[in-house]
Structure 1
Amino acid sequence: MNTVSIIGAGLVVRPHGLDRLWAFRRKIDIPLTHVRGATVDPEARHERRGIRAPGLAFFGKYVGSFHRDGERTFWNVSGHGTAIVIELTDEHFARLILSVDPAGGVADLVDRINNSTSV
């Protein structure tokens, strides 16, 4: 699970618990000018991931960097939570695919990301 927030002019993703260890990241900071948009996508967790390097993949949990078709994607998805996909440009990752707490106002978060990037 992750906490995703907008702080100032940036998007901040913080993995929770052991996901920080498995992802080799405590947080990801991205300028909002590099965020193309975000969507809620419950089917994203079933998408082909590619080659894992570094990270973890077992029993429906995918955490870390995955490479496919020349594109690097950061995954932190588990069997529970709502999956969101954040599209990026000019960043280390082309996309972030994340599980977030559905009670945390996922639709509002996606709207805030999309509205912040269109300004």
Structure 2
Amino acid sequence: MANVRIDGGDLVVEIEGMDRLWSFRSRVVIPLANVRGATVDPGIAADPKGIRASGTRVPGVITAGTFHQDGERVFWNIRDGARAVVIELAEEHYARLVVEVVDPAATVALIEQAVVR
């Protein structure tokens, strides 16, 4: 699970609990200027993940860490796809972040309100 918050001009994604171990990350910090937007996407859990670079993948249980797909780097941290949020990025190490959060709709609203268009 992840906790997403806005801190000044940054989007901060804090990975919680044992997911830090499985994803090889405790946090990801992205300048808001590089955040394109966010969506709730419960179906993404069934999508192909690509090639695992560092992290953990147990189908139907957990996807956590860095994966390469179609020439892009994607950070995953989900167990329950019903609570998945996809954060699209520009000019960053990752092309997108796919994270599980407690309240997907509230998380997307928080990000969308903070993103400068």
Question: Do the two structures share a fold, i.e. TM-score over 0.5?
Answer: yes
Aligned-pair CA distance for 1:79: 2.6
Indicate the RMSD between aligned Cα atoms, in angstroms. 1.3
Figure out how many residues of one structure are paired with residues of the other and give that number.
116
* Aligned counterparts of 2:40 and 2:81: Cα–Cα separation in 1: 14
**1:88: which partner in 2?**
89
* Aligned counterparts of 2:11 and 2:80: Cα–Cα separation in 1: 24
- Contiguous gaps of at least 5 residues in structure 1: none
- Contiguous gaps of at least 5 residues in structure 2: none
Correspondence list, 1:1-119, <5 A: 1-60=1-60, 61-79=62-80, 82-102=83-103, 106-119=104-117
1:59-110 CA distances to partner (integer Å, 9 max, x unpaired)? 42100000011000000010365100000001100000011113xxx32321
Structure 1 runs of 4+ aligned residues shifted over 2 Å read none
Secondary structure at the aligned position of 1:43 is classed as helix
Comparing 72-81 with 23-32, greater Cα deviation is found at 72-81
